[in-house]
């Protein structure tokens, strides 16, 4: 079975994919439809949303295009209502819509940062809140948030990385809240060729050289996380580049806890020079490599 012909594991379901006019969102919407689901294709660009929905309809799927900003809370509610009215059910949400820019912290612009937070953080919260109300009531559903390994720290991406770190935290919290109601929430930190990676020197490759995968290579993971097959996967942040798949560790308190009745500067210096020295963390994604060391590629 090819990537373009997935098993119809989402047959009869309804899924919303935000930011689905191009890139990863488009690839996910197309493959979700190929897996049997009806898809609400969202994008701020109406022409792009209509084009993707048209492609899905043309191959026998069912899609609804809905243009608008996920940062609009009322619009997020309308998307859920539209999916229910058009498809008769809603089973999944992919929070993919996002903005991106590069800037040193001292060159940031207030309006641009506010817009980044509105779309990348408030947007997924608005869409997720609307979807979760329905999922909890029906006792099933799945959300996939698109985070980024940039939240580990990447030069020029502090603000962007912060928004994606917020999505990681949101995933952990929602997963805890929703699990007792039969709802799963996971996140993917993807690496694929998009407008963002094409703009970054670190991801450019010479013509003909092996480089960053095309978005469709990542889509099967989203289909899996939306399907019942992933019933045991919840609250996870998964790093995926189309070949290498890994689980990113959740933040946790290091085991070398130091306790005193009272702390002063000398005691703090002693702790950081001694027991805590080995617990200090490596800074930034670059120090860990663009991806974790690749294992031998599977089939």
Instruction: Give catalytic status of residue 172 as yes or no.
Output: no
How far is residue 186's CA from residue 161's CA, in Å, rounded to a whole number?
18
Coil, helix or strand for 144?
Answer: strand
Alpha helices in the chain (DSSP H): 23-34, 46-58, 73-87, 110-117, 123-138, 158-178, 195-198, 219-226, 265-273
Pair of tokens at residue 104: 């040193």
Which token pair is 1?
Answer: 């079975």
The three-class DSSP label of residue 277 is helix
Query: Burial of 25 by CB count in 10 Å (0-12 exposed, 13-18 middle, 19+ buried)?
Result: buried
Q: Which listed residue (160, 172, 203, 224) is catalytic?
A: 160
The DSSP output letter for 190 is: E
Cα gap 215→187, rounded to integer Å: 16
Burial class (CB within 10 angstroms; exposed 0-12, middle 13-18, buried 19+) of 103:
middle
C-beta separation of 98 from 189 below 8 A: no
As given in the structure block, the two tokens for residue 105 are 């912290």
Q: Could you give the residue numbers annotated as active site?
A: 160
């Amino acid at each position: 079975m090819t990537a373009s012909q997935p098993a119809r594991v989402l047959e009869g379901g309804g899924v919303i994919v935000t930011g689905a006019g191009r890139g990863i969102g488009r690839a996910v919407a197309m493959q979700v439809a190929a897996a049997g689901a009806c898809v609400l294709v969202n994008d701020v660009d109406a022409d792009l949303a209509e084009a993707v929905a048209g492609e899905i309809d043309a191959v026998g799927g069912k899609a609804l295009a809905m243009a608008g900003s996920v940062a609009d809370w009322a619009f997020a509610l309308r998307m859920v209502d539209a999916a229910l009215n058009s498809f008769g059910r809603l089973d999944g949400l992919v929070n993919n819509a996002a903005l991106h820019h590069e800037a040193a912290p001292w060159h940031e612009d207030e309006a641009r940062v506010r817009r980044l937070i509105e779309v990348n953080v408030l947007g997924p919260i608005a869409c997720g809140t609307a979807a979760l109300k329905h999922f909890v009531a029906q006792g099933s559903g799945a959300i996939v948030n698109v985070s980024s390994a940039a939240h580990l720290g990447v030069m020029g991406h502090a603000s962007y990385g912060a928004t994606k770190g917020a999505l990681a935290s949101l995933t952990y919290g929602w997963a805890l809240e929703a699990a007792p109601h039969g709802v799963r929430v996971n996140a993917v930190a993807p690496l694929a060729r998009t407008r963002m990676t094409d703009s970054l020197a670190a991801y450019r490759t010479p013509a003909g050289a092996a480089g960053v995968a095309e978005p469709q290579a990542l889509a099967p993971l989203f289909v899996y996380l939306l399907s019942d097959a992933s019933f045991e996967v919840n609250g996870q942040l998964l790093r995926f580049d189309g070949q290498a798949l890994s689980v990113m560790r959740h933040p946790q308190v290091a085991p070398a806890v130091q306790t005193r009745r009272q702390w002063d500067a000398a005691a703090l210096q002693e702790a950081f020079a001694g027991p805590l020295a080995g617990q200090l963390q490596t800074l930034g994604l670059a120090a860990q490599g663009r991806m974790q060391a690749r294992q031998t590629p599977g089939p």
